[in-house]
Chains A and B, each alone.
Chain A
């Protein structure tokens, strides 16, 4: 037990510069809402933390596992809809909706995983994309999910902790930060665990992995399910924070791709990569959009955004974190 706890908390194998950087990062996040007053900046920060959360989760299957999953939005949707619908239908407190959402995402992923992992590489990516799009269309089509109109969570007359409704965005900031830290600790355990090493072995060479007693398919399926559960967790937060969801908002292809992109830009398969990727792409997206998108230059923000991503993809296959790693190894 103590050993497990130590594995979760310890960064002993990371260099000192990383530990210092991490502490500075934590301090910035903690004081941010007290220093920055602007509500747009605060919203950007919350969105950054949300996507860092998504990225950390996706990094399991996409980074450590090397399986390009372009369907993470379906899991975000499952979480968001579980929370929204349960709150609207039965007035279930937010906290009790988290687990059902994650459980459904896990169960659905488990059901589709075995046939999907018969595919490799691009074909796997296409399959994940299709499954996610089918789910999105179903949620548009069905009446009981609110269809294309979506679901609105009624605002309560007074701030209510049980329903995650607060008077100030500061609370949301700290709540998402808490989820983020929890997931980061999980990742810190994961990357040093048997499952983590076996998954990386599969990414690097499936045949070699099998020769070392690793059940390749099962390992992928387990990871895929964990990734799904983590995506649903972020989705639940989205529903509670934005108070309004529809399939185009929580389940679109753009979201799946953005999640994968943040990780790839930041550095897939590294602990800090997804955070770095989200820290760059999310503010970039939101400020470019606000700055350029509003005036009659519609689309320029997307072009700049796409250029930056293409540049990183072409020059740095290991993402921005890969640049840091290389610099360190050269020294």
Chain B
């Protein structure tokens, strides 16, 4: 088991954003996390990645408890993430953005540079190496953020809505890139997404959340048929199948 979340609770004041969430992700899997707006997907991500301290429950990574670890230590142990609504470094070039990721594992500038170039090559971004990311289209910026996360040599890559704002062609491209990267780097993927087509094609297992709770889990096709899932997305009337 690579990642294990046990009875995780996160409250903000009186609002329960995550209630008793448990899930397990095996090494090499691709797991999708879906749910309507406000279901608590990003909160769960932030609890795992060290941006929020969980109110209760435990998180294990590779058998080691990492509950409440700060974000930089979570990154060091091998969990990388991208952000919903990108967080790219605008005053560093594309190459430097990725180099900062590579500095997670080395002090040496030459090694970091080589690593960044290798990753950017894999993402077809060689042309853009010396450009500032804000001058590039959103789809390209998303790939840079992906490359930056990959440069930290993660075992688990958590993607928070990486396909949001992309058109269907760009979405297909990023699916291909992700599949290739997963193969090459032996990654485990954990992703949240609103674009259903994206999650359903790429995930082996889908976890569904609604109103802070986990309501379903299983292979994408089965989950999509479950009454509770349809209800969460479309309301009770549709769930009864009228």
Q: Tell me, yes or no, whether A binds B.
A: yes
Q: Which residues of A contact B (CB under 8 A)?
A: 3, 7, 192-194, 197-198, 200-201, 203-205, 207-216, 269
Report yes or no: B87 in contact with A201, Cβ–Cβ below 8 A.
no
Report yes or no: B75 in contact with A210, Cβ–Cβ below 8 A.
yes
Stretch at the interface among B28-36, B100-108, B165-173: B100-108
21 pairs, CB–CB < 8 Å, chain A vs chain B: A192-B109, A194-B106, A194-B107, A197-B96, A200-B89, A201-B92, A201-B100, A207-B51, A207-B87, A208-B83, A210-B70, A210-B72, A211-B149, A212-B80, A212-B104, A213-B76, A213-B103, A214-B100, A215-B72, A216-B72, A269-B91
Q: Which residue of B lies closest to A204 (CB)?
A: B89
Residues of B within 8 A of A210 (CB): 50-51, 70-72, 75
* Bound Cα distance A132, B91 (Å): 30
Report yes or no: A7 in contact with B91, Cβ–Cβ below 8 A.
no
Interface string of B75-92 (1 = CB under 8 A from A): 110001101000111111
Report yes or no: B75 in contact with A211, Cβ–Cβ below 8 A.
yes
Residues of B within 8 A of A201 (CB): 89, 92, 100
* Bound Cα distance A203, B70 (Å): 19
Total CB contacts across the A-B interface at under 8 A: 83
Most buried by A among B99, B104, B151, B152: B104
User: Closest Cβ of chain B: how far from A271's Cβ, in Å?
Assistant: 14
Report yes or no: A193 in contact with B109, Cβ–Cβ below 8 A.
yes
User: Closest Cβ of chain B: how far from A149's Cβ, in Å?
Assistant: 46
Which residues between 103 and 117 of chain B lie within 8 Å of chain A, taking CB atoms? 103-104, 106-107, 109-110, 112
Residues of B within 8 A of A212 (CB): 72, 75, 80, 100-101, 103-104, 148-149, 151-152
Give the secondary structure class of A's interface. helix
Report yes or no: B80 in contact with A211, Cβ–Cβ below 8 A.
yes
* Bound Cα distance A212, B102 (Å): 8
Across the A-B interface, give the 5 residue pairs with the lowest CB-CB distance, nearest first: A213-B104, A204-B89, A210-B71, A213-B75, A208-B87
Contact of A198 with B103 at beta-carbon distance under 8 Å, contacts A192-B109, A211-B149, A216-B72 already known: yes
Report yes or no: A197 in contact with B100, Cβ–Cβ below 8 A.
yes
Residues of A within 8 A of B112 (CB): 194, 197
Residues of A within 8 A of B148 (CB): 208, 212
CB of B200 closer than 8 Å to a CB of A: no
Contact partner, A211, options B49, B90, B99, Cβ 8 Å: B49
Q: Which residue of A lies closest to B104 (CB)?
A: A213
* Bound Cα distance A193, B100 (Å): 10
Residues of B within 8 A of A215 (CB): 70, 72
Which residues between 35 and 88 of chain B lie within 8 Å of chain A, taking CB atoms? 49-51, 70-72, 75-76, 80-81, 83, 87-88
Report yes or no: A213 in contact with B152, Cβ–Cβ below 8 A.
yes
Other A-B pairs, 17, CB within 8 Å; known A197-B112, A211-B49, A211-B80 = A200-B92, A200-B96, A201-B92, A205-B87, A205-B88, A207-B51, A207-B71, A208-B83, A208-B88, A208-B148, A211-B71, A212-B103, A212-B152, A213-B75, A213-B103, A213-B152, A214-B104
Residues of B within 8 A of A209 (CB): 100
* Bound Cα distance A123, B148 (Å): 31
Residues of A within 8 A of B87 (CB): 205, 207-208, 211
Report yes or no: A194 in contact with B71, Cβ–Cβ below 8 A.
no
Residues of B within 8 A of A194 (CB): 103, 106-107, 109, 112
Most buried by B among A203, A212, A216: A212
Residues of A within 8 A of B149 (CB): 211-212
User: Closest Cβ of chain B: how far from A328's Cβ, in Å?
Assistant: 12
Report yes or no: A204 in contact with B70, Cβ–Cβ below 8 A.
no
User: Closest Cβ of chain B: how far from A107's Cβ, in Å?
Assistant: 25
Residues of B within 8 A of A203 (CB): 91
* Bound Cα distance A129, B151 (Å): 39
